[in-house]
Copies of this chain bind each other. A is one copy, B any other.
Amino acid sequence: MRAEFTGEVLDDDTLMRILDAAHRAPSVGNSQPWDFIVVRDPDTLTRFAAHVADKRVEFGESLPPERARTFEPIKIEGITESGTGIVVTHDDSRGGPHILGRATVPETGLYSTILAIQNLWLAATAEGVGVGWVSFYDAPFLTELIDLPPGIRPVAWLCVGAVHEFQETPDLERFGWRERRPLREAVHWEKFAPDSSV
């Protein structure tokens, strides 16, 4: 996806439909702990892209030679090409001290924000709009870049924009990074047991 952006910037009507779908995600205790920061300032996009490029080099250098060769041609971001970044953030204090359903599993707050991201992703795809999630960044850098206040945590940078085409096979499978796991290995019956798969 990250190689397919046309450079045409998403119109605001489509953008808002996609954000509305994200905002309709279910959330623990109906806490709706997410926010969306739309970034289009070329200076901000360029600064973030430069930071991500550094992190890409660091990761490449951490790999054994065979993995480094596989990694080399894989494009990991389309920050400037897409022209629109959506930073999704999480506020763990939203909803106050008594969040219905979060007392036993506190992480369900953060999980809710991730559900909104997948809603966004699927709504964009339904609109013919491409999404690429960039995770090669240090959180403090992004926090400073878009002035996140204390308590608001960055969760994702999504590159969102018009694309030439949707690939049928995920990039990391096409480039030989990692294969698809068969569904039958992921499904278990009654108990978790590797040999109970369908």
Give the interface of A toward B (CB within 8 A).
Answer: 16, 19-20, 23, 25-26, 28-32, 34-41, 44, 55, 58-59, 62-64, 67, 71, 74, 76, 89, 95, 98, 100-105, 107-108, 110-111, 114-115, 117-119, 121-122, 133, 135-139, 146-149, 152, 155-156, 170, 172-173, 177-181, 183, 186-193, 198
Contact = CB atoms under 8 A, between A and B. Distances in A.
A172 B26 CA distance: 11
A136 B36 contact: no
Given A37-B191, A147-B191, A178-B29, A114 B103 contact: no
Given A114-B111, A178-B30, A180-B32, A188 B37 contact: yes
Contacts of A137: 104-105
